[in-house]
Amino acid sequence: MPIKLRIATFNLENLDDKPGDKPTLDERIAVMRPQLQRLNADILCLQEVNGQEAVGQPRRILALQKLIEGTPYANFASVSTMTEDNKQVYDERNLVILSRFEILGHQQYKHKFAPPPLYRMVTATPADKEAKEVTWERPFLHATIKLPDSQILNVINVHLKSKLPSPIPGQKLNNYTWKTPSGWAEGFFLSSIKRVGQALETRIFIDQLFDADENALVAVCGDFNAEIDEVPVEAIRGDVENTGNGKLSKRVMVACERSIPEPARFSLLHQGKGRMLDHVLISRRLLAYYRGAEIHNELLHDESLAFATDVLYPESDHAPVLAQFELPDGRATAKAVALT
């Protein structure tokens, strides 16, 4: 029997349970739990999972645990990003991987393969006298998952830097107002450096997986904050058209959404326009078993419009993205060969 596999990614948009939050966690669960149940995922990559604190205990992802109560996900294996001391999850924007199958190991990476670049701000007040390190806020999370036929699937969960401009000292009147277009432009530039830097680090790690096994099963899932033809996604894809090297064809990562008709190909709405920012990218070997993708965007709302606050829309402003696969059962094949 073939192994059916459903891999999904979903940015939960600051899932939290702080006192006084509007909408409340219960209000969010009422609309978001059915979304998770509809996915019926075997492997689920989540972004923006905030941590909650309890007296005398390390910070944990309690809001997520409450969200998945009463669903199959409650019994899944689970790994998440952790603080550098490995004692608790981050306060905000954790990455989480839930798996129906055994997780053999996991690790998170930040500036492991790509050191922070140096940059000297040109519009800052006071002016920078020397270049400083530009670090990105979030690591990526890698898990090795054992499939039922003992094949190993590498799942990478990413959340790249948003396009919101990074702070420039002395260039803002308040949180929402910039003093000059130049200051805004440099902040936007810095965010681009961080986003592409994260993509570069992810791509270097993917190449290491292919160095070890050119036929590796790899899926990179998450919120890329970039569309398929923008630099961060292109960097991770590694298309032959960009490298000019046909010998690297097995290392290309393929965007599953390409099999979805273009009018329905969006995971976020911004000022009335659909944007595809959430992706499932798969290795060529995994592509052989790919059977289709879905974007659950039927009820997606546009938070960029006037009065479109979270109070009115307790669900996420991102749509879940699902990829489906049908893998041959390696154990059955091996048994058949042994009997011949």
pLDDT digits (tens, 9 = 90+) for 113-159: 999 999 999 999 998 999 999 999 999 999 999 999 899 999 999 99
Q: Is the pLDDT of residue 301 over 50?
A: yes
Length of the chain: 340
Asked whether the predicted pLDDT for residue 338 surpasses 90, the reply is: no
pLDDT at residue 60 is higher than 50: yes
Read off the DSSP letter of residue 140: E
Residue 55 has a pLDDT of 84
- Residue 127 has what DSSP assignment? P
pLDDT-derived band at 313, boundaries 50, 70, 90: confident
Query: If you ran DSSP here, which 8-state letter would residue 82 be given?
Result: -
Q: Which of 146-150, 204-208, 329-333 has the lowest mean pLDDT?
A: 329-333
Residue 41: HSE in the Cβ half-sphere, 13 Å Cα cutoff: 28
Rounded-to-integer distance, Cα 69 and Cα 29, Å? 10
Identify the residue whose tokens are 């739990």. 33
- Mean pLDDT over 28-33 rounds to 97
Q: According to the model, what pLDDT value does residue 127 have?
A: 86
Q: What is the reported pLDDT for 311?
A: 73
Largest CA distance in the chain: 78
Determine the Cα–Cα distance for residues 269 and 258; give it in Å rounded to an integer.
18
Q: Is a pLDDT exceeding 90 seen at residue 54? A: no
Name residue, tokens 């990478």: 156
Q: How far apart are CA 259 and CA 172, in angstroms?
A: 43
pLDDT for 339 equals 39
Report pLDDT for 309. Answer: 67
Q: 319 with 286: CB under 8 angstroms?
A: no
Contact 316, 39 (CB under 8 A): no
Q: How large is the average pLDDT for residues 65-89? A: 96
Report the DSSP beta bridge partners of residue 102. 146
| pLDDT at site 274 | 95
Q: Which pLDDT does position 94 carry in this prediction?
A: 98
**Residue 162 backbone dihedrals phi, psi, to 5 degrees:** -70, 170
Q: What is the mean pLDDT of residues 231-235?
A: 98
> Which residue in this structure is represented by tokens 């902040």?
187
- Give the tokens for residue 271: 């000022």
| DSSP 8-class letter at 134 | -
Nearest to 232 by CA among 323, 286, 167, 161: 161
- Show Cβ contacts of residue 256 under 8 Å, excluding neighbours closer than 6 positions: 279, 280, 281, 282, 290, 293, 321, 323
| pLDDT over 90 percentage in the chain | 88
**Residue 93: pLDDT over 60:** yes
pLDDT of 333 over the 60 cut? no
The band of 167, judged by pLDDT with boundaries at 50, 70 and 90, is very high
Nearest to 17 by CA among 83, 67, 77, 74: 67
Quick: pLDDT tens for 252-277.
Answer: 999 999 999 999 999 999 988 999 99
Mean pLDDT for the stretch of residues 303-331: 84
- Residues 93/85/17/25 CA torsion (nearest 10 deg): 50
| Higher local confidence (pLDDT), 250 or 309 | 250
Whether 293 has a pLDDT exceeding 70, the answer reads: yes
Q: Please report, to the nearest 10 degrees, the dihedral formed by the alpha carbons of residues 223, 225, 230, 232 taken in order.
A: -70
- Kindly indicate the confidence band of residue 172, based on its pLDDT and cuts at 50, 70 and 90: very high
- pLDDT at site 312: 76
